[in-house]
Amino acid sequence: MAYEIVTKNTVRDRFKSPARPAIWADTPEKDWNNWVWQQQKRIKSMDVLEKVLNVTQEERDAFAQSHEMFNMGITPYYASLMDKDDPNCPIRLQSVPKKGELFVAPIDLEDPLGEEKDMPVPGITHRYPDRVLFYTTHNCPVYCRHCTRKRKVSDPSSAAQTRQLEEGLAYIEAHKEIRDVVISGGDPLSNSDERLEYILSRLRAMDHIEVFRLGTRNLVTLPQRITDSFAQMLRKYHPVFVHTHFNHPKECTQEAFDACAKLADAGCVIHNQMVLLKGVNDDPKIVKELNHKLLMMRVRPYYIFQCDMAQGISHFRTPVEKGIEIIQALRGWTSGMAVPQYVIDGPGGGGKIPIFPNYIQGREGKKWILRNYKGDRYEYIEP
């Protein structure tokens, strides 16, 4: 029998490109698809934002009072995902200032993860025995209003200059116990390809370095950044893991699909680290839809982070029960691949602490009394 192969790419077709706001309707494709153009045209002022959205008085006031502390920056592409009339649009909540960020609660922390205290040289956080976080830039295409590193992201004085970069590389080279390097920022893909390749080539030349990860939100906020030549460059330095940060199904567009496909085709393993945010994704249905879309994009849902105790983001924090409820609504009800691990990053530098729904109902000697995802009781007896 002759088998006729069906070649229609049905999965990509399920993802849609956003419609462009009117001010960019006539922008040539070659500019719109160019990541440098997207960076240059970032929305940084109320004047431009007013041309894209029907801005509310609250957003105007919040911008006026916050932009000196933490810039606004939104790529035209990310702005095209926003609902221009709905101030509670999940994309808008993540990128346009709101009055909640002007409030600093007494329990808020400037450095919620204690990253500065574990910094042996500027630009390196070395907390765990075998891995480090390596800051390479202060810049991001979009400044997320929920950012945990607001204290230095978007601040040019915190940028990793050449000397700091060299000191960081020298530290990693000297510490043979390090096997895993998280290249971070800001967003490391704000570096040029040449600078990134220099960093990757230096790390790959160190015999004790096994893997590195690029922690980037460009797949979400500036997917045009993933060019063919960038993906080809990464091929030389495998294994390369990419850790990204999709928070809502609206972010899963055809552009994002294509960016993920380029990285996956180039051999990168892509993981998603969602942050649980009130009003954005604090709903099991939204998280399930997001995770299903991510799997179709070849991105594995990896973590759900409880929102940190950083200053000016308390309006995004949910009760911990919400995260447990979300995991409970996923586990067993959908593929295990779509169930990430829910964690709280221990405030002050405790590291990631996993939080689970309780499936253990009790123990009688060698007998464990368990419940499954439907609440049915099971007994497991040890030998």
Angle formed at CA 366 by CA 364 and CA 371, multiple of 5 degrees:
65
Segment near ligand SF4 (CB under 6 A); pick from 181-189, 201-209, 256-264, 371-379: 181-189
State the catalytic residue, choosing from 127, 152, 179, 202. 127
Three-class HEC string of the chain: CCCCCCCCCHHHHCCCCCCCCHHHCCCCHHHHCCHHHHHHCCECCHHHHHHHCCCCHHHHHHHHHHCCCCCCCECHHHHCCCCCCCCCCHHHHHHCCCHHHHCCCCCCECCCCCCCCCCCCCCEECCCCCEEEEECCCCCCCCCCCCCCCCCCCCHHHCCCHHHHHHHHHHHHHCCCCCEEEEECCCHHHCCHHHHHHHHHHHHCCCCCCEEEEECCHHHHCHHHCCHHHHHHHHCCCCEEEEECCCCHHHCCHHHHHHHHHHHHCCCEEEEEEEECCCCCCCHHHHHHHHHHHHHCCEEEEEEEECCCECCCHHHCCCHHHHHHHHHHHECCECHHHCCEEEEEECCCCEEEECCCCCEEEEECCEEEEECCCCCEEEEECC
Residue 144: active-site member: yes
Q: Which is nearer to ligand SF4, 92 or 217 (CB)?
A: 217
Site map (CB under 6 A) of ligand SF4, residues 206-225, x = contact:
-----------x--------
Cβ neighbors of 318 (< 8 A, separation 6 or more) are: 276, 277, 278, 282, 306, 307
Q: Are 253 and 221 in contact (CB under 8 A)?
A: no
Q: Which is nearer to ligand SF4, 184 or 291 (CB)?
A: 184
State the catalytic residue, choosing from 149, 150, 250, 288. 149
Shortest separation between residue 185's beta carbon and ligand SF4, angstroms: 6
Shortest separation between residue 150's beta carbon and ligand SF4, angstroms: 7
Residue 260: active-site member: no
Shortest separation between residue 177's beta carbon and ligand SF4, angstroms: 27
State the catalytic residue, choosing from 41, 131, 225, 278. 131
Q: Which is nearer to ligand SF4, 143 or 342 (CB)?
A: 143
Q: Which is nearer to ligand SF4, 156 or 375 (CB)?
A: 156
Residue 237: active-site member: no
| CA of residue 65 relative to chain centroid, distance | 26
State the catalytic residue, choosing from 140, 260, 268, 307. 140
- Residue 187 as a binder of ligand SF4 (CB under 6 A): the answer is yes
Shortest separation between residue 207's beta carbon and ligand SF4, angstroms: 30
Residue 147: active-site member: yes
State the catalytic residue, choosing from 20, 60, 331, 352. 352
Q: Which is nearer to ligand SF4, 29 or 68 (CB)?
A: 68
Q: Which is nearer to ligand SF4, 147 or 159 (CB)?
A: 147
State the catalytic residue, choosing from 111, 187, 282, 308. 308
- Count of residues that bind ligand SF4 according to CB under 6 A: 10
According to CB under 6 A, which residues from 100 to 159 bind ligand SF4? 140, 143-144, 147, 149, 153
Shortest separation between residue 91's beta carbon and ligand SF4, angstroms: 13
- 162/133 Cα distance (integer angstroms): 17
Q: Which of 186, 188, 223, 323 binds ligand SF4 (CB under 6 A)?
A: 186
Residue 149: active-site member: yes
| CA of residue 238 relative to chain centroid, distance | 21
- Residue 160 as a binder of ligand SF4 (CB under 6 A): the answer is no
Q: Are 115 and 122 in contact (CB under 8 A)?
A: no
Shortest separation between residue 215's beta carbon and ligand SF4, angstroms: 8
Q: Which is nearer to ligand SF4, 255 or 328 (CB)?
A: 255
Shortest separation between residue 174's beta carbon and ligand SF4, angstroms: 27
Shortest separation between residue 144's beta carbon and ligand SF4, angstroms: 3
Tokens of 90: 């999940």
Binding site for ligand SF4 (CB under 6 A): 140, 143-144, 147, 149, 153, 185-187, 217
Which residues are marked as active site? Answer: 127-128, 131, 140, 144, 147, 149, 308, 345, 352
